[in-house]
């Protein structure tokens, strides 16, 4: 009985330590993307969706089926598996706010595709798990 209780305590502590040490990609931005940090706050991003800025694009890198199931208003679908072949649709002059479900795929797109192709105006917003408002279809 004591061993089982100690095991549960050790397991709980290990899980807290593990999840507390996971990197948080939210807010990672390019050399010219710092101005996008204000949109990390969901209310600010909501305001942007309600009052779009033609220079700022919200890019959803989840799969098309995830996007179609529900997405942040005004977000454009650029699945991570397709984005490299669609770079001609993303100007390096635009400010890009990328997101996925948790932020990990968005970070992969940034590091693996955008940065090597000279994009500097971007930010990883993180994931739809941080969006407290209704999604659109």
Give the tens place of pLDDT for each residue, 15-66: 444 444 455 567 899 999 999 999 999 999 999 999 999 999 999 999 999 9
CA proximity to 122, closest of 65, 64, 83, 66: 83
Model pLDDT, residue 15: 44
Architecture per CATH, 25-130: 3-Layer(aba) Sandwich (3.40)
Q: Provide φ and ψ at 69, rounded to 5°.
A: -70, -20
Q: Are 110 and 28 a contacting pair, CB within 8 Å?
A: yes
pTM of the model: 0.82
Average pLDDT of 114-137? Answer: 96
Q: CA–CA separation, 94 vs 91, rounded Å?
A: 5
* 28: Cα within 13 Å, side-chain hemisphere: 20
Average pLDDT of 72-86? Answer: 97
Cα angle for residues 114, 117, 119 (degrees, 5° grid): 55
């Amino acid at each position: 009985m004591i061993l089982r209780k100690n095991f549960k305590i050790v397991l709980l502590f290990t899980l807290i330590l593990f999840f507390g040490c996971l990197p948080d990609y939210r807010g990672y931005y390019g050399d010219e993307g710092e101005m996008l940090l204000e949109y990390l706050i969901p209310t600010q991003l909501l305001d942007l969706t309600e009052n779009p800025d033609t220079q700022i694009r919200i890019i959803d890198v989840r799969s098309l089926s995830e996007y179609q199931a529900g997405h942040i208003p005004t977000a454009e679908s650029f699945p991570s598996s397709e984005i490299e072949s669609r770079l001609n649709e993303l100007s390096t002059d635009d400010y890009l706010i990328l997101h996925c479900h948790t932020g990990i795929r968005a970070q992969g797109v940034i590091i693996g595709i955008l940065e090597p192709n000279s994009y500097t105006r971007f930010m990883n917003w993180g994931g739809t798990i941080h969006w407290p408002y209704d999604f659109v279809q």
